[in-house]
Structure 1
Amino acid sequence: MDTQHDIALTRALAEVPGPLPVSGVIHVAVPHASRFTVVGNHLAQHAELSLTAIGIGVYIQSLPAGSQVGIKALAARFAEGETTIAAALRELETHDYLHRTRERLANGRMVTRTVFCNQPGALLRGGAVAPVTVASVPRPVVTPVVPAPVVAPEPTPVPEEGPPPVRLPSRIAPKPPRRPLPQPREPTPELHRAASALLADLRRHAPELVLSEGDVEELVPGAAAWLERGAHPDAVRHALTTELPQPPKYPAKIVRHRLTVLLPPPLPGAQELTAAPRTPVTPFQTCEGCDRAFRSPAPGHCRDCRAQYWEAA
């Protein structure tokens, strides 16, 4: 069998027109009489598609309309896994060879509509779509066949009819209302100016906290409440710029939240800081009978000496 194969290959090479290349592939082109698909070099030699994507694209193009070309169907046909096949299909979608859309049928079911275009560039330019033709060939003549776009509906599974689901009461607690922004007790122009400058200066210390003029004007009362309670501007700045989430999507909301939940208490006054009166301490006395020390508000005898005198009495 090997000898016959080698002889046939030698004869085929002898019929190749022109000189054979010294290196590289040599094509032995035998015209197809049936079961063939015309594939453009723009797909077969695509510079940005992976080999898996090119192979799946050629395979889908060779299938008849209505064939299943979903991820699971392709994974059952080829050795590649679902992850590899899914990535290849996304490549074909990126380069407009494959289009997948979700559509609702007349009966209400949702299906995935898959359309494969063999020439995306011509379709985008408004090229005509050639119908699918099947030629009866009495002798070996190459008949190019341009396939129509493959439309492969993939119906989604419909759940079986059964009793209506039982709705259990929700255990999710209602979201508490947002705490209001702190307000200063005695707003003054100086306090407003200092708070506005502090908020506008935050972006120097944290480039992520870029506040608009409207945000600054809205947040000024909260910063003023901090300053009114004796917080140093550096302490306020540190509380607002430390350990920010990356990236901060809503800088104004972050500043508002921290101004609200981290607000320090007012500084205590002089009366609160005054120490409470100490409890009077009973002084030491020296026993008049045994010279032993004992605590008593007045001089006299200790407990033991008093007990002896009581017994004698």
Structure 2
Amino acid sequence: MAEAKTIPAPPMAAAGYGKRSAPDQAPRTREMFAHLPVREAYIATYVDRLPDGAAMDVKTLAKALPYGQQAIRSALTNLSEAGHLRRVRETVGEGRTQWVWRTHFSRTARDDAWWDKYLKVDAPPEPKAQAATAPAEEPEAYETLAAVGRADSRMGLSHAECVALAPLAALWLARGVTREALVRALTAGLPAVVHAPGALARTRLRDKLPPEPPRSAATAVVRLLECTGCGTPGRPEALAGGLCRACHGRPPEEPAPVDVAALAAAARAASRAGRDRFVTSLSR
């Protein structure tokens, strides 16, 4: 199976955007994308290893991968049809008036029924599904974790540790904890020597996680599924495989074909008639 090359830290999307990992995926293996063509397997392997919140637009992926934008756009379309990803726009923020665009990815291929149930289009997500997806604050969570070592050198975290711990830290931010309070929670009462700051941070983030604030009707999320190929929004039944009819290769419904020859003949006739009227007016 194709292996994605090792590259520097991927660019992160703006808060709320970017990649979202689907829940309940099978463990990573070398053969997890063996059913895909080489190009699609290479790109899927790379995307699978991106942290949640990473930028997933075609231009950014083309800068990191040995494929052009058109090739990546086609590969993402094929991965959508194979059941590995869906493009979604949804509302976020107070009052749910801001729209964000997200790419939900699953290394385990899923059918349309699974994706439709998971995404709950036009309906508020269940608490379990909401917890399974990465919160919008992950880029901010990464920055906060990186700042922990600056606040106390005993808790210096590597890039890999910040990426791995970002989903847990993002839950704290999503539950109303400020960045400063999160740093204090990870640095308060430390022993004289910290041998494994990453493990200690994970334990504190997991065991001291604040309770989730109560949900209200005002926090309902509106989700619109989009065609992976062209971005056209639509109902799930109209986007089989996450693609619209045109992007599936099936021609969309069109009006009756135009008789070009008849139109040309009519134009010539109209031109002759106009010329004849002009000549007649001169002879009067």
What TM-score do you get using the length of structure 1 for normalisation? 0.28
What TM-score do you get using the length of structure 2 for normalisation? 0.31
| Greater C-alpha Rg | 1
| Higher RCO, 1 vs 2 (CA within 8 Å, ≥6 residues apart) | 2
